[in-house]
């Protein structure tokens, strides 16, 4: 009997070791799978961007897109009614790449609750711009890092247009800069069409339109003929970021059971 007790102690130890292991490696995680899917569009939220197809901007300049990427961090789900905010974490960075459906989706976990707003920042947290070699979404191999003037390219729009006067008709907007006054990190805060209550047993996806049309105008006029290339931090990059800070619209939610 005594031995039996010993065995129980042993079993208890196994269980204890397993739970202690979980404690050490998993923070008490919010359990609802939540995805943010960015839908690249042009001008109308149902006009899905196709790479290589010709569109015209506000100034009637024709353009084709071949790259459209941006960093997102500091995602928060908010309920302005009761003041509750869930923060995914300031340090979690995501690179959204409109080139494919996987790349344009961000998967996070959030607590089930009712929310009526999402906020996030476009760009890379300033500290991460001088933190040396990094990996994951911030791996410089992803081509979003300026090698000669250290810092991340926080958003990129590239393509062609006959009006640029550049070799190969290219236009290239590499927008970055993390130092005041030319810090291009933009805060975005988007209300939902109506509040959503997340269900415990479901997964939720929010579809947000990201409109390339808004890069060229809105706050500042950025014409392809006069400004076909923006490749370094500065006032011009800042202006472009002030334009694209307005490119997002929440479209709808999808719930998977």
Q: Footprint of another protein on this chain (CB under 8 A)?
A: 2-4, 6-7, 9-11, 13-14, 16-18, 20-21, 24-25, 129-135, 139-143, 145, 147-151, 182, 232-234
Q: Provide the minimum distance between the beta carbon of 237 and another protein in the complex, in angstroms, as a whole number.
A: 10
Name beta bridge partners: 85.
78
Q: Which is nearer to another protein, 26 or 200 (CB)?
A: 26
Q: Which is nearer to another protein, 45 or 232 (CB)?
A: 232
The alpha carbon torsion through 105, 109, 115, 116 (nearest 10 deg) reads -20
Q: Provide the minimum distance between the beta carbon of 18 and another protein in the complex, in angstroms, as a whole number.
A: 6
How many angstroms separate the CA atoms of 12 and 18, rounded? 10
Q: Which is nearer to another protein, 86 or 178 (CB)?
A: 178
DSSP reduced 3-state for 136: helix
Q: Provide the minimum distance between the beta carbon of 137 and another protein in the complex, in angstroms, as a whole number.
A: 12
Q: Provide the minimum distance between the beta carbon of 101 and another protein in the complex, in angstroms, as a whole number.
A: 21
Q: Which is nearer to another protein, 102 or 141 (CB)?
A: 141
Residue given tokens 């939540």 in the structure block = 34
Contact predicate 186/154, CB 8 Å: no
The strand pair at 32-42 and 203-211 is best described as: parallel
Q: Which is nearer to another protein, 112 or 166 (CB)?
A: 166
Q: Which is nearer to another protein, 20 or 114 (CB)?
A: 20
Which residue, 85, 229, 129, 98, is CA-closest to 171? 229
Which residue, 167, 179, 211, is CA-closest to 42? 211
Q: Provide the minimum distance between the beta carbon of 71 and another protein in the complex, in angstroms, as a whole number.
A: 17
Contact predicate 225/164, CB 8 Å: yes
Q: Provide the minimum distance between the beta carbon of 67 and another protein in the complex, in angstroms, as a whole number.
A: 15
Ranges assigned E (strand) in the chain: 32-42, 44-48, 55-56, 62-79, 84-87, 93-97, 105-110, 114-122, 145-146, 151-160, 170-176, 186-197, 203-211, 229-230, 248-256
Q: Which is nearer to another protein, 19 or 101 (CB)?
A: 19
How many angstroms separate the CA atoms of 225 and 164, rounded? 5
Which residue, 30, 190, 51, is CA-closest to 122? 190
Q: Provide the minimum distance between the beta carbon of 178 and another protein in the complex, in angstroms, as a whole number.
A: 10
């Amino acid at each position: 009997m005594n031995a039996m007790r010993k065995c129980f102690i042993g079993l208890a130890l196994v269980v204890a070791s397993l739970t202690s292991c979980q404690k050490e490696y998993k923070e008490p995680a919010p359990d609802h799978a939540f995805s943010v899917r960015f839908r690249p569009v042009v001008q109308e939220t149902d006009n899905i961007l196709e790479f290589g197809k010709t569109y015209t901007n506000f100034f009637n300049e024709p353009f084709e897109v071949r790259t459209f990427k941006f960093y997102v961090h500091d995602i928060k789900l908010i309920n302005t009614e009761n003041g509750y905010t869930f923060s995914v974490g300031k340090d979690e960075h995501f690179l959204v790449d409109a080139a494919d459906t996987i790349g344009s989706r961000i998967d996070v976990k959030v607590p089930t609750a009712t929310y009526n707003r999402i906020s996030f920042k476009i760009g890379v947290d300033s500290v991460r711009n001088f933190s040396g070699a990094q990996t994951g979404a911030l791996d410089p191999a992803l081509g979003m890092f300026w090698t000669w003037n250290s810092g991340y390219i926080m958003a990129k729009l590239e393509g062609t247009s006959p009006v640029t006067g550049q070799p190969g008709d290219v236009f290239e907007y590499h927008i970055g800069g993390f130092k005041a006054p030319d810090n291009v990190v933009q805060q975005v805060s988007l209300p939902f069409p109506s509040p959503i209550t997340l269900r415990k047993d479901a997964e939720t996806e929010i579809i947000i339109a990201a409109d390339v049309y808004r890069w060229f105008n809105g706050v500042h006029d950025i014409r392809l003929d006069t400004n076909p290339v923006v490749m370094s931090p500065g006032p011009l990059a800042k202006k472009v970021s002030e334009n694209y800070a307005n490119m997002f619209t929440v479209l709808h939610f999808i719930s998977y059971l």
